[in-house]
Structure 1
């Protein structure tokens, strides 16, 4: 069944609050920390505690940094860290897209070229962990559709590395340009730049959530205490339902949930640009991308670039494909798809823990496949072939379910 993640910035939104809410929701801490350990950023650890705000119990996450760290990082430095990491391809592209989004906002605010942007707060270890951690969380949840309530941004002033700035800070407003927001809120910075990037880059903001059945709820607590509201970010994960009350997938999706296929033909575009276009489309919200060879007019060899995108991301994906290629246009049309309900099950193998993705249709088991990135990591650690780890993981999963 298709799932929905409903994001409610009750007291605001920040990267650490998102991670905390995800852990309170039930995202496995060990899997999150294992993915973040591949970033190659030394000297940090997650400190997770239980706390309460206005009688609401939840999780609080602190990224504890130990040892000397760079005072600032260029966008290219952060991109290199992410590209060299062991994050899954989709999580890696999502993190890169979020950092590029932040970089472009900073460049616009400070009137400099993107290549000249140096991050201060966002370049710190805790912010890198927050952004990459959010991408990992979405990956661990199986990339559900994410819908967020329009946030209140706060008011007053906040002290930053650039001096005293009005709330919301210019970078936050730039990140949320074109995104529904609510004026007012608590006196203070309710939405941080990282929080704004996560809302704008991972969610459909200000869209009324379709009917869904809540299954799990998580609360992430912020550091500050507001006098008029609990400073929490709430995540609710549940199964999408149709207007008739049936499970999503039993009927064609309503227009607002439409999936679009976008395609364009290329016969004069270097291969490096094709690869970049596919990365950019994923970062813009595409669900899948591909390139296939074709024969064009006058017998010219060419490529068909394709992407699947939800209605909310169609324009952004189209812009990414056109901006990164030599094409002067593309075509798109709505499509229907049957999507399996997905569940990640961790199994113990001879080589270590591996997650297995299990797919079901209407409750019927359709298949199980070990996560490649997990298997590749275990194979590197033990010097064996990836297929050996995959076979062991599948055998362990079958043994666990008694088949």
Structure 2
């Protein structure tokens, strides 16, 4: 496994991230092949060694051979990526980046994502940036990514529709759930750069625990006195929490909901795609009895689950916190207790059985069928699993079933 951490503390743009990955060892030839597969001969990529505020870096140049590239819709860009001869991971990542960008631009301009006309983004240079970054990550063997706080800049910038405040609206929309700061004057982060971070960096974190294997710096166009205008990357093998799946923890404190409604709320958020959900009684403001509802959500489901929490409870707001998850490799094995089937959930890690637990609904069913106490059936199911070789601390004796 290889993890990449993106340091966007001085900002990030598509060409800066591409330059950083090339500086870290990505093959320029592989990047060129991928870009050519999408854009043909209308654009080319080259790299140049430069310095920014005394720091050595690689400047990725995207040279256009079409003086008037057309503006393209997300539908058009999606078709170009689908038709291109690209490795599946490169195509998948590029589609994710442009999809995030289309959704953000659509929200900003009040139009469906498929109808968004990309101006800067739809131009060939930005297509080259996105496809180039995705190809560079694939060439480096990167399997997970995270990023720190992003410097977005301040002031105003001139765009197709006139003067726009910095950070521009699309960057703000793409920043949801992530840490940002001004970091300096001007536009330090472009929509393309923020879309790459938002779509590809699954965790918002400071530099995680890594065994470092490579690093690189990608230069921006300007050389700003007193501030290195670069995006940096650090690559390595993850340890600790690095590279773990990311999740969002959604919380709401409620003191005025009929308690008979809570089981239904929990059932609905779980049915809507939450990893888990639970309720904790607390003493709220003014000494009122209250409950804290916590929902562990996949990032792509967080917006919908927040809306569901608001719709099914009386809360006036939901807190969101990014976190990582350690998930054991898990599955099911079947055992029998006096001729009755009981499913047993098994968790494994690094070739060792870590958890063995009979499914209690099966235990209760078998206890009712045998007219025996549930405690006795639970003990018998544990014994049957142990007899089959499923023992905590031991090697798995066979395969598990997915359910």
Q: Compute the displacement of 1:54 (Å).
A: 1.5
Judged with a 3 Å threshold, the aligned counterparts in structure 2 of structure 1 residues 20 and 113 are, in CA distance, closer, same or farther, namely: same
1:356 equivalent in structure 2: none
Quote the Cα distance in structure 1 between the aligned partners of 2:245 and 2:188.
33
2:94 equivalent in structure 1: 95
Quick check: 1:257 aligned with 2:255? no
2:53 equivalent in structure 1: 54
Quick check: 1:334 aligned with 2:334? no
Quote the Cα distance in structure 1 between the aligned partners of 2:128 and 2:59.
15
Show CA shifts across 1:150-174 (max 9, x none). 1111001101112110000011101
2:143 equivalent in structure 1: 144
2:298 equivalent in structure 1: 314
Judged with a 3 Å threshold, the aligned counterparts in structure 2 of structure 1 residues 89 and 153 are, in CA distance, closer, same or farther, namely: same
Show CA shifts across 1:132-181 (max 9, x none). 11111221122332121111110011011121100000111011122221
2:228 equivalent in structure 1: 230
Quick check: 1:175 aligned with 2:159? no
Quick check: 1:108 aligned with 2:130? no
1:188 equivalent in structure 2: 186
Quote the Cα distance in structure 2 between the aligned partners of 1:96 and 1:28.
21
Unaligned 5+ runs, structure 2: 248-295, 305-324, 331-349, 351-403
Give the 5 Å matches for 1:4-403.
4-182=3-181, 184-242=182-240, 257=244, 314-316=298-300, 334-336=327-329
Quote the Cα distance in structure 1 between the aligned partners of 2:47 and 2:326.
45
Judged with a 3 Å threshold, the aligned counterparts in structure 2 of structure 1 residues 179 and 90 are, in CA distance, closer, same or farther, namely: same
Over the aligned positions, Cα root-mean-square deviation in angstroms equals: 2.7
Calculate the TM-score normalised by the size of structure 2.
Answer: 0.60
Show CA shifts across 1:71-109 (max 9, x none). 311111111110011111121121111111111111111
Q: Compute the displacement of 1:8 (Å).
A: 0.5
Kept in 2: contact 1:181–1:206 (CA 8 A): no
Q: Compute the displacement of 1:37 (Å).
A: 1.5
Unaligned 5+ runs, structure 1: 243-253, 261-311, 321-331, 338-360, 362-403
- Aligned pair count reads 263
Name which one, 1 or 2, has greater alpha-carbon Rg.
Answer: 2
Judged with a 3 Å threshold, the aligned counterparts in structure 2 of structure 1 residues 161 and 239 are, in CA distance, closer, same or farther, namely: same
Kept in 2: contact 1:211–1:240 (CA 8 A): yes
Runs of 4+ residues over 4 Å off in structure 1:
317-320
Kept in 1: contact 2:145–2:243 (CA 8 A): no
2:253 equivalent in structure 1: none
Q: Compute the displacement of 1:228 (Å).
A: 3.9
Judged with a 3 Å threshold, the aligned counterparts in structure 2 of structure 1 residues 68 and 152 are, in CA distance, closer, same or farther, namely: closer
Quote the Cα distance in structure 1 between the aligned partners of 2:110 and 2:128.
27
Judged with a 3 Å threshold, the aligned counterparts in structure 2 of structure 1 residues 69 and 335 are, in CA distance, closer, same or farther, namely: farther
1:278 equivalent in structure 2: none
Q: Compute the displacement of 1:194 (Å).
A: 0.4
Q: Compute the displacement of 1:214 (Å).
A: 1.6
Q: Compute the displacement of 1:333 (Å).
A: 10
Kept in 2: contact 1:10–1:229 (CA 8 A): no
> Counterpart of 1:198 in 2: which secondary structure?
helix
Judged with a 3 Å threshold, the aligned counterparts in structure 2 of structure 1 residues 47 and 190 are, in CA distance, closer, same or farther, namely: same
Judged with a 3 Å threshold, the aligned counterparts in structure 2 of structure 1 residues 334 and 240 are, in CA distance, closer, same or farther, namely: closer
Calculate the TM-score normalised by the size of structure 1.
Answer: 0.60
Q: Compute the displacement of 1:41 (Å).
A: 3.4
Quote the Cα distance in structure 2 between the aligned partners of 1:97 and 1:227.
35
Kept in 1: contact 2:9–2:183 (CA 8 A): no
Quote the Cα distance in structure 1 between the aligned partners of 2:242 and 2:20.
30
2:252 equivalent in structure 1: none
